Amino acid sequence: MNDFTKGQLTELCQMVYRGAKPCAMVPVMNKDFKMAKIICTMENCKFKALNLSDGWKTFWVYIRDELIEVIDSMPPELETEADHYLLGALFGYSNDAICDFLRNEKLCR
């Protein structure tokens, strides 16, 4: 794992740990998975990894165990407004920011 990715993951873990966002997610190469686990543990966070594609995992960072079921229910690709809303909420975006995004998406279609 390169230094940029280590720093990015560390920062995301710190935001989750401090409550700035409920969850974070980053794609991680399979070869870097062990390092991602170490970083997450060092930052006092929990993680869940899902297969993304050949050689890659989706690495979720969280603190609250209640969010596991929500993470598991996320579709691999966002299709509905509800999917987009839920992901925005998990990433800590405000209600207004999510609604603005949804409004703009409708205008672009």
**For 1-73, which CATH class?**
alpha beta
**pLDDT digits over 32-57, tens only?**
999 999 999 999 999 999 998 999 99
> What average pLDDT score do residues 8-36 get?
97
Give yes or no for residue 107 having a pLDDT over 70. Answer: no
Distance from C-alpha of 13 to C-alpha of 71, rounded to nearest angstrom? 16
Q: Is residue 58 within 8 Å of residue 75, measured between CB atoms?
A: no
Q: Which of 108, 70, 100, 101 is nearest to 86 (CA)?
A: 70
Residue ranges of alpha helices (H) inside the chain are 3-17, 33-42, 67-73, 81-90, 95-108
Distance from C-alpha of 48 to C-alpha of 36, rounded to nearest angstrom? 11
**pLDDT digits over 54-102, tens only?**
999 999 999 999 999 999 999 888 989 999 999 999 999 999 999 999 9
Distance from C-alpha of 82 to C-alpha of 96, rounded to nearest angstrom? 15
